[in-house]
Amino acid sequence: MKNYLKHYFFFILCGIWSLMSFSAQAQEMPWVHGVLQVSANHRYLQHTDGTPFFWLGDTGWLLPERLNRDEAAYYLKHCAEAGFNVVQVQTVNGVPAMNCYGQSSHPFGYDFNRLAELEGIYGYWDHMDYIIDTAADNGIYIGMVCIWGGLVKGGLMDVEQAKAYGTFLANRYKDRPNIIWIIGGDIRGNVKPEVWEALATTIKSIDRNHLMTFHPFGRTLSTTWFNKAAWLDFNMFQSGHRRYGQSRADEENLLPAGTEEDNWRYVELSHSMQPLRPVIDGEPSYEAIPQGLHDPSQGFWQAEDVRRYAYWSVFAGAFGHTYGHNSIMQFLKPGVLPAYGATKLWYEALQDDGFNQMKHLKRLMLAFPYMERVPDQSVLDGPNGERYERLIATRGKNYLMVYTYTGAPIRVKLDKISGRTKKAWWYSPRTGELTFIDEVTGVVAEFVPEGRRMAGNDHVLIVTDSDLAFKL
């Protein structure tokens, strides 16, 4: 009875939240600054008026299929409050896919011209419209993985069907302000490449206002196959869920065994290729998912792990980051069979530490001159460190930042930024708290974080020209 009442009151709350979602939003919608585009230096995203866009995404993969309208409104509102501005979804995870109302994504196969016969409240695509529009009400972009890769690999969409599907999607959503197209879906780009090309080029021929990328298989990078494709605007990699040493000999991975958790390597690799394009980790290890993905006995990734993936990739030069949670990505709720050892219900997982700590990274990145920022390991006076001891440095002209996952001492070359006198702070990825250290001079300075040296005692060192004013 207790559990029944708990879930009953949750769904009542969802209904109230759904009504509230239609009220006027106090926040400024991001697209008032224009559509998203690649920055002039080809490293970041911005709006047409030059306003920087830091992508902070959540993997809400099964949102269109698992959640009803009240639940979707509740989820999206919480995403916005936690600082997320992108939610990545599987537009369809089957051919056909079925939503929670029992509506089919493909009632007439790939003949989408007949959808008007079934349009109306709670139809599959009508429900998808609602999700996109509710996301827009909350200032959130929907990263639409058009069709999951395994479906194409299994022969459930060929080239002609891809053209029909792409035409339907582009015409339906080209005028929505909050769409980002994601081709692929957990698949290598050399699997049915003709289908991906047909889908991508069809959408782009109709919709030139929205950016497009490719979501690849674990431990691979879209740069490998599509970096020169005319339809690709930015690259994406999936650093995946493996722990150090968990690679199998029969796997074809982009990076060698022993580097499984080093997601910063994908950023460096992508930036070494021409043409230079922005890059992002679109699927790192999820909070509360098994290390290695399939075996819960291996232990689960925690909040400190998802923070490390986020700061490592962004400080290495990524233009943003996508977070994931095991229970949220599958929207585990009563009556749903759990996958990957998940036990927590999705709406309970919204309270987890990792989900609510990602906003501190976005706030930090946007507090400093954005477009001039570059990764620069030469800032460090001494070794970079290996594995969990890895220090990641980034800087602008008059500021530098270094991330340590273990609380390791940090020695920096102060002459890498402007100013005869510098000021130094610690910033907490856990709380967002900023603590002033001291005013420093000289060429090299060492800083030692508080606390025991161990995994999860992570800090960001900030050093600025004393004349630089910033607000966190």
Look at residue 78 in the predicted model and tell me its pLDDT. Answer: 98
Could you please state the CATH topology (level 3) that the domain comprising 374-465 is classified under: Immunoglobulin-like (2.60.40)
Q: Is the pLDDT of residue 33 over 80?
A: yes
Mean pLDDT score, 383-396: 96
Q: Is the pLDDT of residue 8 over 70?
A: no
Give the pLDDT confidence of 35-61 residue by residue, as tens digits. 999 999 999 999 999 999 999 999 999
Look at residue 251 in the predicted model and tell me its pLDDT. Answer: 72
Look at residue 24 in the predicted model and tell me its pLDDT. Answer: 37
Give the pLDDT confidence of 219-273 residue by residue, as tens digits. 999 999 999 999 999 999 999 999 998 887 667 778 888 899 999 999 999 999 9
Confidence of residue 9 (pLDDT cuts 50, 70, 90): very low
Look at residue 18 in the predicted model and tell me its pLDDT. Answer: 47
In percent, the amount of the chain with pLDDT more than 90 equals 87
Q: Name the residue with higher pLDDT: 22 or 380.
A: 380
Give the pLDDT confidence of 304-349 residue by residue, as tens digits. 999 999 999 999 999 999 999 999 999 999 999 999 999 999 999 9
Distance between CA 130 and CA 359 in Å, rounded? 25
Look at residue 470 in the predicted model and tell me its pLDDT. Answer: 83
Look at residue 23 in the predicted model and tell me its pLDDT. Answer: 39
Which residue, among 254, 371, 265, has the nearest Cα to 316 in the 3D structure?
Answer: 265
Look at residue 247 in the predicted model and tell me its pLDDT. Answer: 83
Distance between CA 21 and CA 16 in Å, rounded? 9
Work out the burial of residue 210: count CB atoms within 10 Å of its CB; fewer than 13 is exposed, 13-18 middle, 19 or more buried. Answer: buried
Give the pLDDT confidence of 72-114 residue by residue, as tens digits. 999 999 999 999 999 999 999 999 999 999 999 999 999 998 8
Tell me the average pLDDT of the chain: 93
User: Which conformational region is residue 340 in: left (phi greater than 0), alpha (psi within -120 to 50 degrees), or beta?
Assistant: left
Per CATH, the homologous superfamily of domain 28-366 is: Glycosidases (3.20.20.80)
Beta-sheet strands, E only, within 52-185: 52-53, 55-59, 86-90, 107-110, 141-145, 179-184
Q: Is the pLDDT of residue 458 over 50?
A: yes
Domain ranges of the chain: 28-366, 374-465
- Measured CA angle at 250 (ends 246, 252), to 5 deg: 85
Look at residue 430 in the predicted model and tell me its pLDDT. Answer: 97
Give the pLDDT confidence of 158-215 residue by residue, as tens digits. 999 999 999 999 999 999 999 999 999 999 999 999 999 999 999 999 999 999 999 9
Give the pLDDT confidence of 423-444 residue by residue, as tens digits. 999 999 999 999 999 999 999 9
Which residue, among 183, 264, 266, 271, has the nearest Cα to 219 in the 3D structure?
Answer: 266
Q: Is the pLDDT of residue 11 over 80?
A: no
Look at residue 118 in the predicted model and tell me its pLDDT. Answer: 74
Extract the tokens encoding 190: 């050399």
